[in-house]
Structure 1
Amino acid sequence: MNKYIAFDIGGTNVKHSVLLEDGTFIEKGKYNTRKATIKEFLDDLTATIKGYLQKYEISGIAISLPGFVNVETGYTEDAGAITILNGKNLKTLLENEISCTVEIENDGNCVALAEKFNGNAINCKDFVCITIGTGVGGGLFLNNKIFHGHTFRAGEIGYMLTPRSQTGSEIMSDNGSTSSLIRSYKDYKGLDENEVVEGKVIFQEAENNAEVALLIDKWIEGISFGVFNIAGTLNPEKILIGGGVSAREGFAEKIKEKLELQKEWEFIKVPIETCKHKNDAGMIGALKHFLTQNDIKSKSLY
C-alpha cells in the first residue's frame, strides 16, 4: 500500500505524519511553526520531508494550510496566520526542492474531507463542518464534493455576521471562537490581554461560578446563530462541529438547546453532531485531497 507524507500547518504548530492510503498512521510528530521568513519555514518543511524519505518510499506530499488555497495551482493569495505565504505558491516552492508531487487544500476543507473519508460523514453527500478554534472555519461538502467557490473562499464561516455581537466583534470568528471566549473571560477577570489562559480553565471555573457559566452560555448562543444560518442556507444532511472544544462532553447538545429556543428552527433543523477526528483531521483530510486530485488528473489523461 502506498505511503504519503501529510502536513497540517497551523500558526503555532506544524503537525506531520506518514500515512497509508487508507488513512492509517505509520508515524507522526510536530514542531513549532517558524514563520518569520520564507526560508526558515521551508527549511523546516524540507528537513522533515527528507527525514521521512530516508525511511520510507513516499508517493506524494499532502498539505493542509489556512487561507485561500487554489487547489489547482497551490497559490495562496492569503494564507491566514502564515503571512509569509501570502501571494506565494507553496506547491511550486516544495516541488522545486523535493522530487515528489505536492497537493494543498484549505484546513477547514481538510476537516470535512477527513470526516467524509473515514469519519462521521461517510454516508453523506451534503454536510458542513464548522471548526471552533482560535478562529472559526469550515468546510462545505455539497453534491458529494468540496465546494470551493469562485475564488476558493467558500466555507469561510468565521466571516459570517452574527447577531447580538459587541462592536468590533460582529463576525463569528470574533464572537464564536475559543479565543473570543478567552477574551471575554479576561475582561471579566480584569486580566492582561497578554496573559495566557487555556479554555479548559474557564470551563472548570464555570462549574462553581455562575457568572463564568453565563459567559460560556452566551458564547455557545453565538455559535448557535452561525449554525442556524448554515442550516437555513444550505439544508445539509448534518452539521458537524470540530475543533478541540468539540471534544467536551455534551458540547453539541448545548448548541442544540440554544437552537431549539429559536422558533424557526423547527422548519430548518438538521442533525448537529461532533467530528470524529480531532488533531489528526487536517492530515487525514489532506491525504484524501491528494488522492482525489491525482485520481482526477490520471483520468484526464485518457
Structure 2
Amino acid sequence: MKCLACDFGGSSVKYALVDDQAQMEESGKLPAPLDSAEQYVDTVGRLYDEYRNRIEGIAISMPGYINPENGYLSDAGAYMQLYGNSIIDLLKNRCPIPIAVENDGKCAALAEAWKGSLAGCKNAVALVLGSGIAGGIIKDGKIHSGRDFAAGELSYLITDPTKHNELGCAYMSAAMHGLTYRVCKAKNIDLAVQDAASILKWLDENIRMPYVEPDRELKKIKADGISIFQWLSEGDTDILSIYRNFIRTLAQVVHSVQLCFAPEKISIGGGLSLQKRIFRDLEDELQSYYQGMRLGRQLHATIVKSRYLNECNLVGAMYNYLLHFGYS
C-alpha cells in the first residue's frame, strides 16, 4: 500500500509517496501554509488531487499537541491558525480517504524505531532539529504521549534562565527559526524576506532583539541553513559566535534528556542534521561536560545519526498511519 505523506514544518511542507516498507518516491516541497485554515486545506487538497489515483490514504506530521485518535490540535507550533481544530475533520471533505495525523517529534521517533537508528531499542529518544526542536520518546517500545499529548516539546526547555521570554528557550538557539532570527539581527538582514517571515516577525514583536547596526539599511538576502553554514565555513566571526551558542544549547538539551530518561540511544535528525560537523562538535561539547563533572558512563548519552535525516517525519507519518489503520 502507498500513502501521501506530508511533513508540515515552520518554513515548508515536504511531501512524498511512501509505501508500507518505508520506500519513498516523488518527493517535493511547498511553502508552509501558515496564513489560514483554508490555505492549509488547499495545500493538502491540491496534493491529493495530483496523487488521488495512486494512494490509499494521507499521513500527516506536524508540530503541536495532537491527539492522534481524532487529529485534534490544541496548541503549540507554527500552525496557530489551526489551534482548536481536528486536522482530520478539516480535511475529510476535501480529501475523502483515510487520514492519520501525529506530532512531528513523535513521527521521527516512530520512523527511527520502525526501520531506523533506534530499531530494537526499548527506551530511546529522537530529536528533530528543524524550525524548532521536536522530540519523540520511545518508552517500553511505544510512543510516550504524556499529559495532553505534550511529551517531547523540547523547544521549550529553558537553556538561558536569565531570559524570561523566547530567547531563554532551546529553540531560539538550537533550531532554524532561532538561528535565522539571531543571524538576521547580527548581520542586519531583513526578517521580512526569510522563509516563515510571519513567524519571525511575530517573534520580533515579542522579543524586540535589536539589530547590531540599527541605522543601516537591512540586507534583502536569505539567512537559511545553507547560507549560515557557508558563512560559518568562511570564518564569519558573528556566525561563529552564534554557532558556538547553538552547540552549547544542543548539548544542554541532550544532557538533560539523558539524565531525565536514561535512553539507550538519542537519534538526531531534521534539516540541520545534514551538517556533518554538528555531530563532531556536539560530541566534543558533551565530552567536556562529562570530564569536567567526572560523570560515569551510565550518564553519558549515546548519540546516533538519524537514518532518515530530514525525511524522518515523512517515514514516521507513514508508520503512524499503518499503526492507526491496523498494520500487522
From 210, 216, 226, the counterpart of 1:200: 226
SS at match of 1:78: coil
In structure 2, the CA distance between the partners of 1:34 and 1:226, relative to structure 1 (3 Å rule), is closer
Deviations 1:219-246 (A, max 9, x none): 2011101111000000001111222221
- Report the Cα offset of residue 273 of structure 1: 2.0
Aligned length: 294
The answer to whether 1:70 aligns with 2:67 is: yes
The answer for the alignment partner of 1:16 in structure 2 is: 15
The one-letter code matched in structure 1 to 2:261 is L
Matches for 1:180-191 after TM superposition, within 5 Å: 180-191=178-189
C-alpha separation between the residues in 2 aligned to 1:19 and 1:215?
A: 37
Query: 1:40 — aligned with what?
Result: 39
Is 1:288 paired with 2:319? yes
What amino acid is the match of 1:86? Y
1:107 paired residue among 104, 108, 111: 104
Letter in 2 for 1:8: D
Letter in 1 for 2:281: K
**Counterpart pick for 1:222 among 249, 254, 261:** 249
Please say if 1:269 is aligned against 2:300.
yes
SS of residue paired to 2:325: helix
Quote the offset at 1:167 in angstroms. Answer: 5.2
Q: Distance between the aligned counterparts of 1:39 and 1:180, measured in 2?
A: 27
**8 A Cα contact 1:12 1:33, kept in partner:** yes
CA distance in 1 between counterparts of 2:90 and 2:177 reads 32
Q: How does 1:1-302 map to 2 (within 5 A)?
A: 2-54=1-53, 56=54, 58-78=55-75, 80-163=77-160, 166=163, 168=165, 169-194=167-192, 196-207=222-233, 208-210=235-237, 212-262=239-289, 263=293, 265-266=295-296, 267-295=298-326
Tell me by how many angstroms 1:70 deviates: 0.4
**How well do the aligned residues superpose, as a CA RMSD in angstroms?**
2.3
Change (3 A) 1:258 1:6: same
Q: Which amino acid aligns with 1:204?
A: Q
Residues 202 and 212 in structure 1, CA contact (< 8 A), matched pair in contact too: yes
The amino acid across from 1:203 in the alignment is F
Q: Distance in 2 between matches of 1:164 and 1:120?
A: 33
1:223/1:47 Cα in 2 relative to 1: closer, same or farther (>3 Å)?
Answer: same
Looking at structure 1, the residues matched to 143 and 154 of structure 2 have their Cα atoms a distance apart, in angstroms, of 14
Give runs of ≥4 in structure 1 deviating > 6 Å.
none
1:201 CA displacement: 3.0
Q: Give me the whole-angstrom Cα distance separating, in 2, the residues matched to 1:37 and 1:149.
A: 28
CA deviation string 1:208-227 (max 9, x = no partner): 34554233122201110111
What is the CA distance between 1:36 and its match in structure 2?
2.8
What is the identity percentage for the equivalent residue pairs of Structure 1 and Structure 2? 29
Provide the rounded CA distance (Å) in 1 between the counterparts of 2:81 and 2:39: 10
Distance in 1, matches of 2:162 and 2:128, equals: 19
TM-score, normalisation: structure 2? 0.82
2:267–2:303 CA contact under 8 A, matched in 1:
yes
- Measured at CA, do residues 29 and 211 of structure 1 come closer, stay the same or move farther in structure 2, by a change above 3 Å? closer
Further displaced range: 286-295 or 96-105: 96-105
Distance across 2 between alignment mates of 1:34 and 1:6: 16
Cα 1:53–1:171, aligned 2, differ >3 Å: closer, same or farther?
same
Q: Is contact 1:65-1:79 (8 Å) kept? A: no
Deviation at 1:115, TM superposition (A): 1.1
Query: What amino acid does structure 2 have at the position aligned with 1:252?
Result: F
Q: Give, in whole Å, the separation in 2 of the partners of 1:32 and 1:123.
A: 36
Q: Secondary structure at the match of 2:127?
A: strand
Structure 2 unmatched ranges of 5 or more: 193-219
Q: Which runs of no fewer than 5 residues in structure 1 stay unpaired? A: none
The CA distance in 2 between the partners of 1:50 and 1:120, in whole Å, is: 34
- Evaluate the alpha carbon distance shift between residue 60 and residue 192 of structure 1 in structure 2; reply closer, same or farther with a 3 A threshold: closer
